[in-house]
Amino acid sequence: MVRKCNTDFASVNRSLQAGLRKGNELGATARELDSDISAEAKPSRKGMKLKPTGPGPGKRAPGSRAAKKEQILSDNTYKASDVPLTIGELWTSRQRQMHPIHYTVSYRASFKPELPDYFIKRYLSDKKKALVLDPFGGRGTTIIQSNLNGFSAIHNDLSPIASFLGRARRRIPDLAELELRLDEIQLSSKKSNVSDEDFLRLEPFFHEKTIHEIHNLRQMHLDNPDDSALSYIALTALSRLHGHSDGFFSVYSFPQISIMPDAQRKNNRKRGLTPEYKAVKERILKKMKRDLAQPLHPSFNRAAANNRYLSCDATDLNGIETSSVDLIVTSPPFLDKVDYKKDNWMRAWFLGVEDRMDELPLAIFARLEQWKDFMREAIREFGRVLRPGGHAVIEVGEVISGNQLILLEREMAEMLPLEVRGGGRVVAREICINQQEFTKLANCWKVTNNSRGTNTNRCLVIQKEG
């Protein structure tokens, strides 16, 4: 039986959120490192001791955050466990190797498309038809890669911004259609009815004429939510809002995070900058041409046409039938450093969802035990929706707490086996650690390029018993 999805955000999961922002014990991460299945992946043996490679901690400024992290990572060895361990360059460390449609828009904490591609090929290569799910869908990396591989998928995410990022690529029109649609849109012919309050917030970033063009496009998109060509154009515009090159609509700013207007004003003063007029349509067209230069196989749109998009709490995927999903590839949130609302204020404004962002009971945890309680419920729910024999791959990053590396994949493995709703159990099958060869320095413990991020994918593979 299919139950209806609960989208009453205010009432869902509130208890999990209470007071979680205080006393964080989890560390920082930035997962976006985009990566291709490597035919020559060389798995290592279970429980092996990892030997750090590359220059040691001495290369970092003593006492710096980077040096401290390096020290912690080099002191840790992976403990043997009952769960088989695979370590290797499972997919390439080279950037942006997959279809450019993945990179239409950036998203904090997204994983590389090579990660879902690796597991889709591993578990579904003998299947003509299969259903893939990402319960923490983000910008839609898993579902887009599933569609590229010819499988339909379900995207679930509580954030309306993430939902839009996934949904806007449900049908990707060809470039000729998009050019035609863009041509029809009148953005500069009249001043928009942007409110004084919004104008004040946007003024530090954009020239007045640019503000009106963006606002006109916003209004058109909000008035026509079912126009797929317009949605794709709006998605492209969303990705061009602010950044540090002339391809963006804004004066020099950060590309991934929307900084607050006052901070932008300060930057402008410091750099002596005044926002210049940036023609919105021409920048959208340029970006669309780049992203669609490599034609999409018609099977993409066929598979995507059967996608579903949900806004449920991942612990209660009540829009999804029991035992209906073949594969889950996902990465849950696991730190309280990401302020989704503040960091995304301009995207939320552009999509008209600012009010909804206030209400979101996103899983933001201060303490490991709370994260584990949440994940236990989520894994139970993954177990319910998986078909017997189906797999779930849960990717986590490396988290440092005090002087300890917390191995979240191990923390999850230790929760298993778990009885699942609707009968049956899920068991831990494997831990896969993607060890990447970075140009600066890396092994799966010591990744020091930019140091604050998670440069290693650590995945727990679980299976619903058949």
- Answer for which of 87, 133, 143, 162 binds ligand SAM (CB under 6 A) is 162
- Answer for which of 93, 110, 323, 443 binds ligand SAM (CB under 6 A) is 110
- Answer for which of 362, 399, 426, 444 binds ligand SAM (CB under 6 A) is 362
Span near ligand SAM by CB under 6 A; candidates 102-110, 191-199, 241-249, 287-295: 102-110
Span near ligand SAM by CB under 6 A; candidates 52-60, 106-114, 238-246, 385-393: 106-114
> Could you tell me which residues come within 8 angstroms of residue 130 by beta carbon, excluding any fewer than 6 positions away?
124, 151, 326, 327
Q: Could you say whether residue 33 binds ligand SAM (CB under 6 A)?
A: no
Q: Could you say whether residue 459 binds ligand SAM (CB under 6 A)?
A: no
Contact in structure between 206 and 278 (CB atoms under 8 Å): yes
Helix ranges restricted to H, 292-353: 298-305, 340-343, 345-351
Residue 227 CB, nearest distance to ligand SAM (Å)? 24
Site string for ligand SAM, 118-137 (x = CB under 6 A): ------------------x-
Contact in structure between 55 and 441 (CB atoms under 8 Å): yes
d(CA 112, CA 102): 9
Q: Which is nearer to ligand SAM, 52 or 160 (CB)?
A: 160
- Answer for which of 145, 159, 163, 323 binds ligand SAM (CB under 6 A) is 159
95: number of Cβ within 10 Å: 12
Q: Could you say whether residue 145 binds ligand SAM (CB under 6 A)?
A: no
Q: Could you say whether residue 141 binds ligand SAM (CB under 6 A)?
A: yes
Residues 288-317 that bind ligand SAM (CB under 6 A): 313-314
Distances (CA, A) of 376 to 162, 382, 419, 466: 23, 10, 10, 20
Identity of residue 14: R
- Answer for which of 138, 160, 275, 383 binds ligand SAM (CB under 6 A) is 138
* Closest CB to ligand SAM: residue number: 138
- Kindly state the helix (H) or strand (E) to which residue 393 belongs, with its residue range: strand 386-396
Q: How far is CA 179 from its chain centroid? A: 28
Q: Which of 184, 232, 195, 191 is nearest to 209 (CA)?
A: 191
Distances (CA, A) of 24 to 5, 19, 21: 31, 10, 7
Span near ligand SAM by CB under 6 A; candidates 109-117, 186-194, 240-248, 437-445: 109-117
Regarding beta strands 325-330 and 386-396, do their DSSP bridges make them parallel or antiparallel, or are they unpaired? parallel
d(CA 247, CA 200): 23
- Sign, CA dihedral 221-226-228-232, equals positive
Residue 16 CB, nearest distance to ligand SAM (Å)? 8
Q: Which is nearer to ligand SAM, 52 or 332 (CB)?
A: 332
Q: Could you say whether residue 365 binds ligand SAM (CB under 6 A)?
A: no
**Helical packing angle, 298-305 and 141-148, nearest 10°:** 120
Span near ligand SAM by CB under 6 A; candidates 57-65, 153-161, 178-186, 384-392: 153-161
Q: Could you say whether residue 319 binds ligand SAM (CB under 6 A)?
A: no
Q: Which is nearer to ligand SAM, 109 or 237 (CB)?
A: 109
Q: Which is nearer to ligand SAM, 192 or 315 (CB)?
A: 315
User: What is 205-251 written as a DSSP string?
Assistant: TS-HHHHHHHHHHHHHHHH-TT-HHHHHHHHHHHHTSSBSSTTSSSS
Residue 381 CB, nearest distance to ligand SAM (Å)? 10
Q: Could you say whether residue 139 binds ligand SAM (CB under 6 A)?
A: yes
Site string for ligand SAM, 178-217 (x = CB under 6 A): ----------------------------------------
Q: Could you say whether residue 333 binds ligand SAM (CB under 6 A)?
A: yes
Residue 158 CB, nearest distance to ligand SAM (Å)? 4
Q: Which is nearer to ligand SAM, 139 or 215 (CB)?
A: 139
Q: Which is nearer to ligand SAM, 207 or 347 (CB)?
A: 347
Regarding beta strands 404-406 and 152-156, do their DSSP bridges make them parallel or antiparallel, or are they unpaired? unpaired
Distances (CA, A) of 306 to 100, 140, 167, 235, 259: 22, 15, 12, 20, 37
Contact in structure between 448 and 442 (CB atoms under 8 Å): yes
- Answer for which of 105, 185, 285, 363 binds ligand SAM (CB under 6 A) is 363
- Answer for which of 87, 144, 158, 400 binds ligand SAM (CB under 6 A) is 158
Q: Which of 327, 331, 310, 303 is nearest to 170 (CA)?
A: 303
Burial of 184 per CB tally in 10 Å (0-12, 13-18, 19+): exposed
In the complex, the residues that contact ligand SAM under the rule CB under 6 A are 13, 107, 109-111, 136, 138-139, 141, 157-159, 162, 313-314, 331, 333, 362-363
